[in-house]
Every structure is written in structure tokens, then in C-alpha cells.
């Protein structure tokens, strides 16, 4: 029916119902042992609209490990503190490599390609840590998440953080490598500790979608009108999410979904429909690039139904 406004509630309900029956759900991440026990049948979706209304489906209130989605928020925080000086430490180009790749760092003298691959996020975390104790830096990141989600109950899953700290040898290699080029200022173990803990923040789809609203609303919280970041910065963070938010799956995500998005190996994705909505989806099964398989499928269905692709005229 041309001209009719698509019904968001019906679209979300249909997505939940369709995906309930999917057999092919991807593989749950197991390289962080504590994440391996996630239920591959879990699925949640929340759409937080620019007008303040919220539409949800499935396990929308269940907290999960946000993992790399935290990198959007640490980047936002670090840009607020350091502005464009941050770009001396990290680039803004898609990597075309896995999220924990080591080879690119050697070719590029320890400067990570972008703030969303692990090396880039570790460099950003190191900046936030400078001049603080790890506990203070972590408290600042957690309070920022609680503030954005308007929910002081958000916590860090310490078992997940400890599990990654015990087994995160690849991230330790990346951090040590950057340290050798002088890209990190703080002791490697401190920086990694803060990084592992912010990746281990646990949030529900509802909390995450609400926390992401400023990116859909020109940098403002649409409920309070409070400016989180200038509009230009929100636009630029969205640009980075589009080009780099899904690692070597970023092109495919843009092609299929057509929105800026950031994934995490906990199975969450935060996607932004500028001017319209902040969307969080969660399903723990991952594809070969470490991105939620059903999460992307859900977003692909949603943008098609709602006409929300940023490439649509
Ligand atoms: N904490 C995870 C890691 O460093 C985050 C990776 C991800 O979510 N893609 O490996």
C-alpha cells in the first residue's frame, strides 16, 4: 500500500515470530569461556524511537554481555575528553580484517586502523585511563552508560571480565605491540583490565537501545533535550559505525541493513536509523566474522519493512 505508514509494532512482532523458528542460528562465541554458556535460542529486540516511544519483542529485558558495542561509548567519551587529538592514536578507515588481527598493526607502525577493532578500542581505553587509576576510569565508563540508559542498575559482569583476562592472549599481544610503538601511555595490564571490564558490561536490549538514542537524535537525548555530543560528532560516530562497526563484515552489513551499526561477540548489535530510532537486537549465535547471525537478519527485515535504510530516497 503506497503512502501507508508501516506499523512498527506489527513489524517487530513478525520478526520475533519468524526468527523463533530459525534453525540456523550461528555459533555462540567460546574463545571467552564465560560467554560459551549463552543460550543460542535467545532473541531480543528493542526499537527506541526518536519521539521517546519504545517498541520491544522477545527477551528484551535480559542482560547480555555488550562486548564490542561498548567501543561506541568509549569512543564517545574519549572524543569528549580529547577531541580530534584522539585521531593521532587511531585511524578512521575500515580494516577489512578480523577484529583481533595482528598483521595490520605491524604494517602501520602500531596505529590501529579504527576505534572499533580491538587494537583501536584498546588505544581509546588507554586514553581514557591516562591520569586515573583503572578503577576510576572504569567507574567513569560505567556511569556514562548508566546515564545514557537512564538506569543506575547497569553493572559489569565480573565473571566475564575475569574469564577474558585469563584467556585474552591475543589482546595482550595487540596491546604490547602498540606499547612498543609508544601508542599506549599506561601499563599494558592496567589498560587491558579496563578494556576487558568495559566489554563485560551487561545490558538488556532496552537499556542499550535507550543508551544509543543520542546517535539517532543529532547528539541529544530526545526525552530531556540534553545534549550528549554536538550533532556533528553524532554524525561522525555514525559514519564510523557504518564503515567499521562490523569488522570485515561491515560492507555486508551496510549492503543488507543500510544502517550504522556496532556488533559485539555477546551477540548484540546496536543500529542507528538517524532521525528515527536507536535499535538493539540480541541473539548469541555468531557468523564467521563474529557478528550476530539472527541479529543482522532481524535488522535486515526491520529496515526493509520500515524503509529505514539510510540509502533509501
Ligand atoms: N572483548 C572482546 C575481545 O576483545 C570483544 C570482541 C568483540 O565483541 N568483537 O575479543
Architecture of domain 68-201: 3-Layer(aba) Sandwich (3.40)
Instruction: Measure 264 CA to ligand 1 centroid, in angstroms.
Output: 7
Instruction: Measure 118 CA to ligand 1 centroid, in angstroms.
Output: 7
| Phi, psi angle pair for 62, to nearest 5° | -85, 125
Interval 99-103 mean pLDDT: 86
pTM (global) more than 0.85: yes
Interval 223-227 mean pLDDT: 91
297 close to ligand 1 (CB < 6 Angstrom): no
What are the boundaries of each domain within the chain?
6-66+202-306, 68-201
Ligand 1 atom with least separation from CA of 69: 8
- In this structure, the dihedral spanned by the alpha carbons of residues 180, 181, 187 and 191, taken in order and rounded to 10 degrees, is -120
The answer to whether 193 and 165 are in contact (CB under 8 A) is yes
163 close to ligand 1 (CB < 6 Angstrom): no
* DSSP annotation string for 172-231: HHHHHHHHHTT---S-HHHHHHHHHHHHTEEE-HHHHHHHTHHHHTTTB-TTT--BSS-H
Cell of 105: 598493526
Q: Report H helices in the chain.
A: 8-20, 70-82, 103-107, 118-129, 134-149, 158-167, 169-180, 188-199, 205-211, 213-216, 231-244, 250-256, 293-306
Binned at pLDDT 50, 70 and 90, residue 1 comes out as: very low
pLDDT digits (tens, 9 = 90+) for 269-311: 999 999 999 999 999 999 999 999 999 999 999 999 999 999 9
Instruction: Measure 271 CA to ligand 1 centroid, in angstroms.
Output: 18
Cell of 172: 595482550
Helix axes 188-199, 118-129, angle to 10 degrees: 110
Binned at pLDDT 50, 70 and 90, residue 2 comes out as: very low
pLDDT of residue 223: 87
Q: Residue 44 above 80 pLDDT?
A: yes
Active site residue 247: yes
101 close to ligand 1 (CB < 6 Angstrom): no
Cell of 259: 544502517
| Phi, psi angle pair for 89, to nearest 5° | -100, -20
Q: Residue 262 above 80 pLDDT?
A: yes
Q: Residue 119 above 90 pLDDT?
A: yes
Active site residue 179: no
pLDDT of residue 3: 53
Instruction: Measure 162 CA to ligand 1 centroid, in angstroms.
Output: 14
pLDDT digits (tens, 9 = 90+) for 231-256: 999 999 999 999 999 999 999 999 99
Kindly report the number of other CB atoms within 10 A of residue 271's CB atom. 32
Minimum CA distance residue for ligand 1 atom 3:
118
Q: Residue 132 above 90 pLDDT?
A: yes
pLDDT of residue 98: 84
| Phi, psi angle pair for 71, to nearest 5° | -65, -25
The answer to whether 55 and 49 are in contact (CB under 8 A) is yes
pLDDT of residue 199: 98
58 close to ligand 1 (CB < 6 Angstrom): no
Q: What CATH class has 6-66+202-306?
A: alpha beta
Amino acid at each position: 500500500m503506497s503512502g501507508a505508514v508501516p506499523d512498527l509494532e506489527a513489524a517487530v512482532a513478525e520478526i520475533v515470530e519468524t526468527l523463533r523458528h530459525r534453525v540456523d542460528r550461528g555459533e555462540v562465541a567460546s574463545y571467552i569461556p564465560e560467554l560459551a554458556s549463552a543460550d543460542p535460542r535467545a532473541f531480543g529486540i528493542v526499537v527506541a524511537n526518536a519521539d521517546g516511544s519504545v517498541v520491544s519483542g522477545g527477551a528484551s529485558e535480559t542482560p547480555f554481555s555488550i562486548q564490542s558495542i561498548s567501543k561506541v561509548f568509549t569512543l564517545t567519551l574519549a572524543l569528549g575528553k580529547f577531541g580530534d587529538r584522539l585521531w593521532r592514536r587511531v585511524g578512521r578507515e575500515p580494516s577489512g580484517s578480523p577484529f583481533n588481527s595482528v598483521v595490520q598493526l605491524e604494517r602501520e607502525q602500531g596505529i590501529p586502523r579504527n576505534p572499533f577493532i580491538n587494537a583501536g578500542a584498546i588505544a581509546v581505553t588507554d586514553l581514557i585511563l591516562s591520569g586515573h587509576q583503572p578503577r576510576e576510569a572504569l567507574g567513569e565508563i560505567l556511569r556514562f552508560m548508566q546515564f545514557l540508559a537512564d538506569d543506575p542498575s547497569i553493572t559489569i559482569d565480573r565473571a566475564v571480565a575475569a574469564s577474558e583476562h585469563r584467556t585474552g592472549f591475543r589482546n595482550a599481544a595487540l596491546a604490547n605491540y602498540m606499547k612498543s610503538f609508544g601508542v599506549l601511555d599506561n601499563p599494558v595490564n592496567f589498560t587491558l583490565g579496563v578494556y576487558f571490564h568495559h566489554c563485560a558490561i551487561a545490558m538488556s536490549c532496552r537499556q542499550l537501545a535507550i543508551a544509543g538514542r543520542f546517535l539517532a537524535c543529532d547528539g541529544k537525548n530526545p526525552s530531556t533535550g540534553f545534549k550528549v555530543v554536538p550533532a556533528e560528532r553524532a554524525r561522525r560516530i555514525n559514519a564510523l559505525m557504518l564503515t567499521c562497526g562490523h569488522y570485515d563484515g561491515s560492507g555486508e552489513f551496510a549492503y543488507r541493513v543500510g544502517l550504522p551499526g556496532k556488533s559485539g561477540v555477546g551477540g548484540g548489535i546496536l543500529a542507528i536509523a538517524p532521525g528515527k530510532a536507536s535499535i538493539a537486537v540480541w541473539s548469541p549465535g555468531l557468523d564467521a566474522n563474529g557478528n550476530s547471525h539472527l541479529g543482522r537478519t532481524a535488522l535486515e527485515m526491520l529496515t526493509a519493512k520500515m524503509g529505514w535504510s539510510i540509502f533509501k530516497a
